[in-house]
Structures are given as C-alpha cells and as structure tokens.
Amino acid sequence: MTRAIETLVWAGVFVLITIVLVFAGIRVGTDGPLIVTGTPSERDAFEWRYVTYPWLAYLHIVPGILYLVGAPLQLWRRFRERHFTFHRRFGRVVLSLGLVSGVFALAFGVPFAYGGAWQSLATAVFGSWFLVSLMLAYRAIRGRRVRMHRRWMMRAFAVGLGVGMIRVWVGILAGSQLLPLEQSFAPAFWVGLSMHVLAGEAWLWWRPNADGLPRNAKADQPSK
C-alpha cells in the first residue's frame, strides 16, 4: 500500500513537471522570436509582460525549470544515500537556482500579474513561503539538522511543483468557461498553491522518518 501511494505520488510529480516544461516551452516559442528581433508585443497580449521585461521573466523561469528538474533527484532517498557527495554538491546548485527563481517570481510576478491584485498577493504569500523554506532548509543543514533540512526542502518543493497545479486549475476554470482566462489566474494561484502546501504537510505527517535517520532521532538534533 505504502509503495503504491509512493508510486502514485512520483507519477504525479512527473506529470506536473511535464506540464511546467510544456508551458515554459510555449513561453520560449512565443516570446523568443519577439525578444530576439526586438519586436514589441501588443499591450493587451498575454506575452506583453514577458517580452517587455525579459530579464525579470527569464531569471524566474530558467532557474525555476532547472530547480524543478534537479530537486527530485535530491529528494529521492535511495539516490541520496548512494551518492551522498553528489547530493551535497548538487544541493548547493539546486538551492541557489531555487532562490534566484523565487526572488524573480516576486520581482516579476507581483508587479506584473496577469490576473490582477489577488494573483499578486498569492505570489507574494507563496513566493515568500518558497524562499523562507529554502533558506530554513539551508540553515538546518549548516547546523547538521538533517531531518529539519529534509522537511523544509520538501515544503519548498511542494510549492515549486504547485506551479504545474496552477496551470491545471487555469485549464479547469477557463476551459470549462466558468471564468474568462484573465480572471481564472488568481483563484488558480490560491487553490493550486494552497493544495500543494497542504499536500506537502500531509506527506511530512505520513512519512516523517523517510530521511534515513533512526526513527527516534529528533528533528532539531544535529546528526552525528
């Protein structure tokens, strides 16, 4: 049963990462030619913000994609245990990519939200939670608090993966014509990201000891 649930969760992770990759591909395909040729986009087009502020947008998207693709390797327990030196080195890279993407999620997403003020607020709340989780994960591992490190890394990853869930909700809300595309963004951000924060907490509650430490090791105790 445990194995079946884990397999299902990993399948979900794969699907959500694929969704994010597809949307990133669409972005590059749409914005790339305009940015490279210096062609301005129409003011009310979706891509206007991406084409007008490419540095802000792509310093969010490119490190975010690399973070999202790299993080599962870091969280995969068997790989981590077999390649611990790689885990430590690659971890610094993945964490830095996550931080850069998170900072630019705020710099781009708060002032230039397609869906208006409620989307900006969701970006500020969940983007800050993403950054705080990464920073606390780093602080924990510097203090050799392995269990705490894993918990904060899981929380950050849950939010990062939530980016795929936002697109699912935009698809549901706008695709079923419940809301126009622009108005579907804010609820999709709130519902999609809240779901992922809660799912992350549920996972940590269900698998509190999946970090390879002895079952009775305390979360705030430095590992030996």
Residue numbers at the binding site for ligand HEM (CB under 6 A)? 20, 23-24, 27, 60-61, 64-65, 67-68, 98, 101-102, 105, 109, 113-114, 123, 126-127, 130, 159-160, 163, 185
Least CB distance from residue 68 to ligand HEM, whole Å? 4
The angle, 0 to 180 degrees and rounded to 10, between the axes of the packed helices 54-75 and 84-109 is: 150
> Are residues 163 and 65 in contact, defined by beta-carbon separation less than 8 angstroms?
no
Least CB distance from residue 85 to ligand HEM, whole Å? 25
Q: Which is nearer to ligand HEM, 20 or 154 (CB)?
A: 20
Least CB distance from residue 105 to ligand HEM, whole Å? 4
Provide the greatest CA pair distance for the chain. 61
| Amino acid type, 80 | R
Q: Which is nearer to ligand HEM, 160 or 187 (CB)?
A: 160
C-alpha to C-alpha distances, 102 to 130, 148, 189, nearest whole angstrom: 7, 21, 15
Q: Structure tokens of 209?
A: 């000891």
Least CB distance from residue 199 to ligand HEM, whole Å? 15
Least CB distance from residue 26 to ligand HEM, whole Å? 6
How far apart are alpha carbons 208 and 129 in whole angstroms?
Answer: 20
How far apart are alpha carbons 199 and 169 in whole angstroms?
Answer: 16
Q: Which is nearer to ligand HEM, 57 or 140 (CB)?
A: 57
**Strand, helix or coil at 221?**
coil
Q: Which is nearer to ligand HEM, 27 or 87 (CB)?
A: 27
Q: Which is nearer to ligand HEM, 100 or 213 (CB)?
A: 100
